[in-house]
Each structure stands twice: as structure tokens, then as C-alpha cells.
Amino acid sequence: MIENRKIKVLVCKPGLDGHDRGAKVLARALRDAGMEVIYTGLHQTPDMIVQTVLQEDPDAVMLSMLSGAHKALCPVIMDKLKENEIDDVLVSVGGIIPEEDKPFLEEHGLKGFYGPGTELKTIVEFVKNNLKR
């Protein structure tokens, strides 16, 4: 029995995008929902993100991207996770993700795609309901 199980979440800012208001607000909301949250800070390269996943073993990884670099960076991140045999982590990307880019990202294993105007509780529920383990 997992008596003390907490959901552990990584909130990341990949690439050079410096808009961190949403990521920080989300991190607080996840904490207020009883989760253990690590915010990685800005300017994360795919290697840094994967390294953090390898060591912290989160249940979910939330990528916050508002600069348009998602199509370039997300596949790289997903590939590196696969290389390291990490397949039971929920990976979600949000921020500014145009509708037409979603199928491409879904093919690469990402989910979520929450953008401006989303209620925090929607994202919290999404995390709870989409964990892979």
C-alpha cells in the first residue's frame, strides 16, 4: 500500500523564453493542491530537463513555452526521455501552442496544451487524471 504517496511534478521553462509568470503561478497552484513541485527555473536545455527527470523521478513534467520554440524543442526532449527508458512520466506542454501544432506534439507523446485563460484547477485535475503510474 502506498500510504504516503504524493504526486511529484516538475515545472520547466525550456529554451530562452523568459515569461515565467504562468509557470510560477501554476507551481503554486499545484502545491496548494497537495503536490510536491520542483520549478526548474529558466533557460533549460533538453539535457538539463532530462537530467532533472532522471534524478527527481517526477510523476509529471509540465513544460511552459511561450516563444514558439515548442515544435523544435519538444521532440528533442521526448527523444532523450525515450533514450533513457523513461516512459511512465506524463509530459505536458502549455503556454502559446497554436491549435494546428497540437497533432504534431501529440504524435510525439505530449498532452495538455493549456494556454492563456485556462483555470488553474483545470490543469490540476488534468495532472491528477492523466498520470501514467
Partner 1 sequence: MDYSDLIEKLLNGNSRAVARLITLVENDIKAAENIVKAIYSHTGNAYILGITGSPGSGKSTFISTITKLFAEQGKKIGIICVDPTSPITGGAILGDRIRMKDNFSLKNVFIRSMANRGQLGGLARATEDAVKILDAFGCDIIIVETVGVGQSEVDIFKSAHTVIVLLVPGSGDDIQAIKAGIMEITDIFVVNKMDLAGSDKKIADVMQMLELRMNYKYESENHEENNMLKLKWTPEIIKVNSITGENFEPLSELINKHRKFLKDSGVSEIYQKNRIKSETLQILKHKISQKVEGLIHSNPTIDEYLRLVMDKSLDPYSMANLIIKLLGIE
Partner 2 sequence: MTELDESKTLKPTKSERRDKFENLSGIEIKSFYTPEDVKDNNYAMDLGAPGEYPFTRGAYPNMYRGRFWTMRQFAGFGTAAQTNQRYKFLLEHGTTGLSVAFSLHTIYGYEADDEKALGEVGKEGVSIDTLKDMETLFSDIDLSKISTSMTINAPASILLAMYIVTAEKQGHSADKLRGTIQNDILKEYIAQKSWVFPPEPSMRLIIDTIEYCIKHVPQWYTISISGYHIREAGSTAVQELAFTLADGFAYVEAAMERGLDLDDFAPRLSFFFNSHNNFFEEVCKYRAARRIWAKRLKNKYGAKRKESMRLRFHTQTAGVSLSAQEPENNIARVTIQGLAAVLGGTQSLHTNSFDEALCLPTEKAAKIALRTQQIIANESGAADTVDPLAGSYYVEWLTNKMEEEAELYFEKIEALGGVIPAIKANFFQKEIANSSYKYQREIESKDRIIVGVNDFQLREACATPLLKIDEKVGEEQIKILQGVRDQREGKRVQEKLENLKQAAKGTENLMPYIMEAIREYASIGEVMTSLKEVFGEYREDSIF
- Which residues in this chain contact partner 1 in the complex, by CB under 8 A? 1-6, 8, 27-28, 30-41, 48, 51-52, 54-57, 84-86
Q: What residue type is assigned to position 73 of the chain?
A: L
Among 85, 117, 129, 133, binds partner 2 (CB under 8 A): 117
Tell me how far CA of residue 98 lies from CA of 84, 87, 102, 105, 126, in angstroms: 29, 26, 7, 11, 19
54 is a site residue for partner 2 (CB under 8 A): no
For residue 17, count CB atoms less than 10 angstroms from its CB and return exposed for 0-12, middle for 13-18, buried for 19 or more: buried
| Shortest spacing between CB 117 and partner 2, in angstroms | 4
- Residue 36: which of partner 2, partner 1, none does it interact with, CB under 5 to 8 A by kind? partner 1
Q: Determine the number of helices (DSSP H) and then strands (DSSP E) in the chain.
A: 5, 5
| Shortest spacing between CB 1 and partner 2, in angstroms | 34
Positions in the binding site for partner 2 (CB under 8 A): 15-18, 20-21, 24-25, 27-29, 39, 41-43, 45, 67-73, 76, 96, 98-100, 115-117, 119-121
